[in-house]
Amino acid sequence: MSLVHGTELFAAARKGHYAIGAFNTNNLEWTRAILGAAQELNVPVLIQTSMGAAKYMGGYELCQQLVEATIKSMNITVPVVMHLDHGNYEAAKAAIAAGYNSVMFDGHDLPFAENLEKTKEIVALAHAKGISVEAEVGSIGGEEDGIVGEGELADVEEAKQLAATGIDFLAAGIGNIHGQYPANWKGLHFDRLQELADVIEQPLVLHGGSGIPQEQVEKAISMGIAKLNINTECQLAFAKATREYIEAGKDQEGKGFDPRKLLAPGTKAIEDTVKEIIGWMGTKPVKLVPEEI
């Protein structure tokens, strides 16, 4: 069993100036691809479900059990953190109850005082079970599974207050965007990242990781980013490989329509993408004693 909570893993990453990949899953194929890539590279990994993906897959318990059972059936030995991505207050509580190892409470769209108050409540509930908590300050631009943000830069004073609630990692708006970056995107705000890194001890989280140039990702990691969130990149890779399979007429050759064949190129493309991006992060093969779930 290699499911673990996130606190120590990510703290070690920030201290060691590397990051751990946080990849969104949507189904069994996605889950197998992410786990297989991490195992092959012998590095810890975080698998996360958005609220939308969890609803699509059948709920938080099913998602938790799917990941747990897949780890077992694939003999995965690297540490794996099962995490809720961009959860509202109710979702965070549901994921905690379902046995997730880590939750993000995303209160960016609430008045800050309410974001702070609810973050405190989630920290108390989660930490009573050893579950790690991510909070968000500022916002991530664009849209992901119904979560919309204007891309406001994180306010350093607000970040300090959120950090003081005892959260385990902090997602901060630093010019990052969910989904594909527009051609005129100006890049990450490294000055704001530095201001945050100077006063926040916890590992920092870079959302909207898909499409950020490798040198910016590496610079951000060197400054305190310890969790890199990737979703769109895997979706694009899966769609491209699947389209190529169909456009080549392979679904019409023999039993090429069998989902085990039809979904194979896309699944392989996700695995290759995960491996490539992990390669940017310098992730170390941390060994932890697996915890009871």
Taken in order 158, 160, 163, 165, the sign of the CA dihedral is negative
> Are 24 and 53 within 8 A, CB to CB?
yes
Q: What are phi and psi of 198, to 5 degrees?
A: -65, -30
- Return the number of the residue (29 or 233) whose C-beta is nearest ligand G3H: 233
Interatomic CA distance for residues 99 and 131, integer angstroms: 9
What sign does the CA torsion over 215, 221, 223, 227 have? positive
Residue of 189, 192, 207, 227 interacting with Zn ion (CB under 5 A): 207
Is 85 labeled as catalytic in the residue annotation?
A: yes
Query: Is 210 near ligand G3H (CB under 6 A)?
Result: yes
Given the rule CB under 6 A, which of 27-35, 229-237, 256-264, 284-292 is the region that contacts ligand G3H? 229-237
Residues 139-158 vs ligand G3H: string with x where CB under 6 A? -----x--------------
Work out whether 227 is an interface residue with ligand G3H (CB under 6 A): no
6 vs 265 by CB, closer to Zn ion:
6
Q: Which is it for strands 225-230 and 204-206: parallel, antiparallel or unpaired?
A: parallel
Distance, CA of 127 to CA of 135 (rounded, Å): 14
What does the alpha-carbon distance between residue 125 and residue 131 come to, in Å, rounded to a whole number?
Answer: 9
Alpha helix stretches (DSSP H) within the chain: 7-15, 28-41, 51-57, 60-73, 89-98, 112-127, 156-163, 190-199, 214-222, 232-247, 259-262, 264-281
Q: Does 14 sit near Zn ion (CB under 5 A)?
A: no
Q: Least separation, in Å, of the C-beta of 174 and Zn ion?
A: 13
Part of the chain binding ligand G3H (CB under 6 A), chosen from 2-10, 108-116, 195-203, 227-235? 227-235
* Catalytic residue (choose from 85, 155, 258, 272): 85
Asked if 32 interacts with Zn ion (CB under 5 A), we say no
Residues 6+ apart with CB under 8 A from 238: 30, 266, 267, 269, 270
Residue 179's binding partner among ligand G3H, Zn ion, none (Cβ under 5 to 8 angstroms by kind) is ligand G3H
| Residue 230 interacts with which of ligand G3H, Zn ion, none, CB < 5 to 8 Å by class | ligand G3H
Active site residues: 85
Q: Which positions lie near Zn ion, rule CB under 5 A?
A: 207, 229
Interface residues with ligand G3H (CB under 6 A) are 24, 85-86, 144, 178-179, 207-210, 229-233
